[in-house]
Amino acid sequence: MTLSAIDWLILAACLLFPFFVAARAARRAGESLTQYFLAGRELPWWLAGTSMVATTFAADTPLAVTGIIAQDGIAGNWIWWSAALGSMLSVLFFARLWRRAGILTDVAFVELRYSGRPAALLRGFRALYLGLPVNCLIIGWVNLAMAKILSVTLGWDRLTAVFAGLALTGAYVSLSGLRGVVLTDLVQFGLAMAGTLAVAVYALRAQEVGGVAGLADQLPESTFNFLPALGGPAASEGPTLTLSVTAFIAYLGVQWWASWYPGQEPGGGGYLAQRMMSSRDERHSMLATLWFTLAHYCVRPWPWILAGLATLVLYPDIADREAGYAMIMRDHLPVGWRGLVLGGFVAAFMSTMSTQLNWGTSYLVHDVYARFLRPDRTDAHYVRVARLTTLGVMAASAGVTLYLETVRQAWELILESGAGIGLVLILRWYWWRVNAWSEITAMVAPVVGLVWLSLFTSVTFPESLLYLVTWTTACWLAVTWLTSPEPDQTLVAFFTRVRPGGPGWRRVAAAAGAPPPEPIRGQLLDWMAGVALVYGTLFGVGALLLPGRWRALPCLAVALACGWFLYRRHSARGWPAVTG
């Protein structure tokens, strides 16, 4: 792809903007760890929520969706659409609790909820595990996607692309901390969305495609299904999702609550919890997570899906289906748009990378270095260590990228290696009997189970999730009942501070001399309405864009009714109007 002078000018502006923000944010970021990792807990809902959306929109996502559609059609997106159920749990159950906890990282929650040496062991182990191998794998697949884009569009080799992207991002993140990250996210998300919209429009305009009507004429009807055809023979041409019943159950019935995955952790957590804890108050935390959920599932996917469908017509025989998206950029964008679209993808890449570097570093510095190695140093010292650690994580991640082949490969590995831990991450908020050993077991068991399945069986993803979740759940429940509960003093302190609801805390509330915990029946009703809101909007928007527009009306009607229901219920609680 040849870039004109104006393309290079636009691309340069996209690259330089974060450094301008970093320079402005560096002084405040250096004041304390709270400023560096939580932006002083001052973020309004729209900024925190947009940062969540921007972070989960990386260069890898459109490429991965393109590969999914090539293999399974639109319905293949249930591998991540199913997570909307967990995201609504975060909105209605956990967003306020994370903000109420008043901690610096979600890993620090461990020593708020548990006590003694097991809690310390779990905190250190979880911080190292998430901060290094998991974080480096996530950064690795984001790098891989950006390297594919730069290789196809500019002809760069993977090594050059990897180190160029990491060096640029690591430099400004180490200076600016979270405040600089979220401020750049706001602009970078707009650029990234403009870029993906342009790719979709020009892909559909291609003579070989002929718009949405042309796609409908040239692709099998099953390609456009929103729901999978369970079982049955595969079509002779084109993608057709023919999941087994167990596979679809794994996506919709198990994966969303049982597996850990960045950006859709059961019970919140990760960089989403970081944004919740950075919000101004509990209301802003909840609204930020709601805006993220709607934008993540309902707004962003359709430009990717339209472009992914177009690649099936434009490049039917390519071996690397994910690279088809980058080939559209190379072959079908006019001058001027090339720089903007490439700049948008660079922005999406840098947005995700900046969060991953800041988030992973927060664990290594706050939960390992400051907790166990140098607990008596000043905030200025910790900020200097955080800046150096950011660069170290950046370098370690570069090596991981060179060993990955596809984005989906890395997605599946993360889901399998965390299969079963999700239930612990949810219940630790709502059941007093969960202890530190429960969570330690739930982290180790799926890895052991995955090794066993890989060596001694032919079970593959997603069916593997059913086996791993069953194994992990049995292990951590057994360990929970075989080990002692947390001391009443720890449980009472946690309950008094966080005030979780539900019947799982009645015994602790009585011990604390407090009123019974708030029932969660109303929250469950809200959750069902929220799930219907998300899926109604998702499928309603999709139906407007694709063949079968008659499907849009009932979907959008359900979404509108559920949205009004949630608005009235939460307005009745006396929450003040949103002012930003």
Tell me the whole-structure pTM to 2 decimals: 0.86
Rounded to whole angstroms, how far apart are CA atoms 461 and 259?
A: 13
The number of beta carbons lying within 10 Å of the beta carbon of residue 378 is 9
pLDDT value at 244 more than 60: no
Cα gap 166→246, rounded to integer Å:
40
pLDDT tens digit sequence for 340-351: 888 877 777 777
d(CA 207, CA 558): 37
pLDDT band at 234 (very low <50, low <70, confident <90, very high): very low
Partners of residue 447 on adjacent β-strands: none
- For 424, the 3-state DSSP assignment is helix
pLDDT value of position 406: 65
User: What band does 1 get if pLDDT is binned at 50, 70 and 90?
Assistant: low
Rounded mean pLDDT of 45-59? 88
Count CA within 13 A, CB hemisphere, residue 461: 17
Residue-level pLDDT at 174: 66
Taking alpha carbons only, the member of 23, 29, 26, 36 closest to residue 274 is: 36
Residue 64 has pLDDT above 50, yes or no: yes
440: pLDDT strictly greater than 80: yes
CB atoms under 10 Å from CB of 236, counted, come to: 7
Q: Bigger pLDDT: 261 or 34?
A: 34
| 493: exposed, middle or buried (Cβ count in 10 Å: 0-12, 13-18, 19+) | middle
Residues 366 and 33: beta-carbon distance below 8 Å: yes
**Which range (165-174, 292-301, 416-425, 500-509) has the least confidence?**
165-174
**Three-class DSSP labels, 356-417:** HHHHHHHHHHHHHHHHHHCCCCCHHHHHHHHHHHHHHHHHHHHHHHCCCCCHHHHHHHHHHH
Q: Partners of 291 in the beta sheet?
A: none
Instruction: Tell me the CA distances in angstroms from 320 to 223, 312, 401, 456, one per residue in order.
Output: 19, 12, 17, 29
Q: How far, in Å, CA of 135 to CA of 437, rounded?
A: 23
Find the length of the chain. 580
